Amino acid sequence: MQIETKLPKVGTTIFTVMSQLAVQHNAVNLGQGFPDFDGPQSLRDALAEAMNSGRNQYAPMTGIPKLREQIAQKTERLYGRKVNADTDITVTSGATEAIFAAVAAVVRPGDEVIVLDPCYDCYEPAIDLVGGRAVHVPLSLPDFSVDWQRVKDAITPRTRMIMVNSPHNPSGAVFSAQDLDTLAALTRDTEILVLSDEVYEHIIFDGLPHQSVLRHAELADRSFVVSSFGKTYHCTGWKVGYCVAPRTLSAEFRKVHQYLTFCTFSPAQWAFAHVLEHDPQHYLDLPAFYQEKRDHFRDLLQGSRFQLLPVRGAYFQLVDYSAISDKDDLNFCEWLVREAGVAAIPVSAFYETAPAAKIIRFCFAKNDKTLADAAERLRAL
């Protein structure tokens, strides 16, 4: 049977490829972005309690009221944005679902969506599937900052959405308040919407505040803001996230969500509602928790031939390997997993047109032994 693919540029995601190679070669997996440690015991206990008490049937399509209320309280407490738990918050089956639902809800055939390269690999397929066109604007090297003049130059009458991500995957760069002001100025008096991917909102370092789009009233009024419980609570396999958007945008978002997954794993929603209410200190302590891992991993790599780039947020360390090899980043990552026994991700996988820089990504959301084992192998190169 001949099938004309709707996603001709898409193959198996690089994260799956590198994780499979890691298994084949018994390598330390610093590639795919997931912790190798469990979330809080209180969360796991709350999940078991929810299952054992019969919370096992369909949740409401938008999410259980208690969880949406806790998200609303957290949003106001952290970002000063008062949102309506009933109309502005939707619980989703992971952030990837939320991103797809937001794009599908408002992007029409022929519309353009500006994405900032390097960007996460689920963005463009979502745009393609609804008939839109991704317009790639590269971030500025070496600091992965946004060149807002280039963004402005990319805006056309067909521009429907701008997608942003802070803290940024893969670079760890973060937005400043001035970035938000500039984005607001670019979209003012237009019909352009914003999709802000903030799944690493609580993983930000060196005392920096997370500049959520929700802090900026003008932007919040035209934005879908996507967050991830999996990233915050070290349980990426549960696939629970949420989207905060104004009533009008949320109404369109929910039209897609209800026929995409309808609702999200019910016991987990009760568990997250419990920890948000009874253990808010967890997400408040997360910056220090991951900053310690960042600093420890960077210390372990001292004496290696990798050049470490700055990391201000998220849980990834970019390194320049040009002192080790002249291979391109994909071939180097394949060599690294085979010969050194460490899996990484080539940064070119996040680009439409990758620059010549020789940069790969390691994930440091790992326990100390995993990081030590990986670093020992990397220092030997």
The whole-number pLDDT of residue 159 equals 98
pLDDT string in tens for the chain (381-residue length): 888 999 998 888 888 888 999 899 999 999 989 999 999 999 999 999 999 999 999 999 999 999 999 999 999 999 999 999 999 999 999 999 999 999 999 999 999 999 999 999 999 999 999 999 999 999 999 999 999 999 999 999 999 999 999 999 999 999 999 999 999 999 999 999 999 999 999 999 999 999 999 999 999 999 999 999 999 999 999 999 999 999 999 999 999 999 999 999 999 999 999 999 999 999 999 999 999 999 999 999 999 999 999 999 999 999 999 999 999 999 999 999 999 999 999 999 999 999 989 999 999 999 999 999 999 999 999
CATH 3.90.1150.10: which residues of the chain?
14-39+282-379
Sign of the CA dihedral with 103 first, then 109, 115, and 118 last: positive
180-208: pLDDT as tens digits:
999 999 999 999 999 999 999 999 999 99
- Closest C-alpha among 223, 224, 225, 242 to residue 233: 242
b/e code 31-40 from CB counts within 10 Å (16+ = b): bbbbbeeebe
Q: Which residues contact 166 (CB under 8 A, 6 or more apart)?
A: 173, 174, 175, 179, 196, 198, 210, 211, 313
The verdict on pTM exceeding 0.85 is yes
Task: Look at residue 12 in the predicted model and tell me its pLDDT.
Answer: 84
CATH number of this structure's domain 57-279: 3.40.640.10
Which of 299, 307, 371 lies closest to 342, judged by CA? 371
Alpha-carbon distance of 43 to 39, in angstroms, equals 7
pLDDT digits (tens, 9 = 90+) for 32-49: 899 999 999 999 999 999
Closest Cα partner for 260 from 31, 104, 67, 123? 104
Place of tokens 């994930």: 363
CATH for the stretch 14-39+282-379:
3.90.1150.10
Here the tokens at position 30 are: 């610093």
CATH 3.40.640.10 occupies which residues in the chain? 57-279
